[in-house]
Structure 1
Amino acid sequence: MDNTEIYHILGYIKISPYRTNTLKSIGNELKMPSEIANELNLKTSQVSAALSDLKKKNLVICVNEEVRKGRLYKCTPLGLKLLSELD
């Protein structure tokens, strides 16, 4: 991935406080949407929308997609790389 693509995705993240804060909240951990929502004082639906956006850009993955409740998300290597640019 070249710098132009990285800057494009970085801008996509930074334009939304929900995406930015959700990515920062996950960091190097495994987290459920409800944990992120409680930590950031957001609605679970806001976090779920941000996670969906981040997933489409290959920044986070759900490690247990098959379950309905208790889904866990973690940052991809690309997500972690861009996270270091957000600090």
Structure 2
Amino acid sequence: MSDFEEVMTEYIKISKHREKVFKTLKDGSKKPSDIARETNLNINSVSLSLKQLTEKELVYLLNPDDKKGRLYKLTEIGETIIKEFDEKTE
């Protein structure tokens, strides 16, 4: 794991909300409302976590021009980091 990936992994783990949101995107793109339902977090917490993860380029918005039905997905770096999470929990 590169230094950057290690730092980003710790950044994700620092916040349980961020970690939950990040892990739900493991299976593909999702809307914030679906993430909120899966994680039992309120939509504001999900939105904040997605904003933070997007700023760190771990997640990206597939349809930025849409106001409704926004879909978020892991970036390549996010995909690499989620594999590290999976390996550590096996």
Tell me which interval the TM-score lies in, with the shorter structure as reference length: over 0.9
Task: Please give the residue correspondences for 1:1-87 in structure 2 after superposition, counting only pairs within 5 Å.
Answer: 3-87=2-86
* Number of aligned residues: 86
Describe the superposition over 1:42-81 as per-residue Cα deviations: whole angstroms up to 9, x where unpaired. Answer: 1011000000010011111100011111100111110011
Q: Is the 8 A contact 2:61 2:71 kept in 1?
A: yes
* CA distance in structure 2 between the partners assigned to 1:20 and 1:85 by the alignment: 13
Give 1 or 2: higher helix fraction. 2
* CA distance in structure 2 between the partners assigned to 1:4 and 1:74 by the alignment: 23
* CA distance in structure 2 between the partners assigned to 1:4 and 1:53 by the alignment: 19
* CA distance in structure 2 between the partners assigned to 1:63 and 1:4 by the alignment: 27
Could you tell me which runs of 5 or more consecutive residues in structure 1 were left unpaired when the two chains were aligned.
none
* CA distance in structure 1 between the partners assigned to 2:80 and 2:37 by the alignment: 25
For residue 75 of structure 1, what is the amino acid of its counterpart?
L
For residue 64 of structure 2, what is the amino acid of its counterpart?
E
* CA distance in structure 1 between the partners assigned to 2:2 and 2:63 by the alignment: 31
* CA distance in structure 1 between the partners assigned to 2:83 and 2:52 by the alignment: 19
Q: Is the 8 A contact 1:18 1:46 kept in 2?
A: yes
RMSD between superposed Cα atoms in Å: 1.2
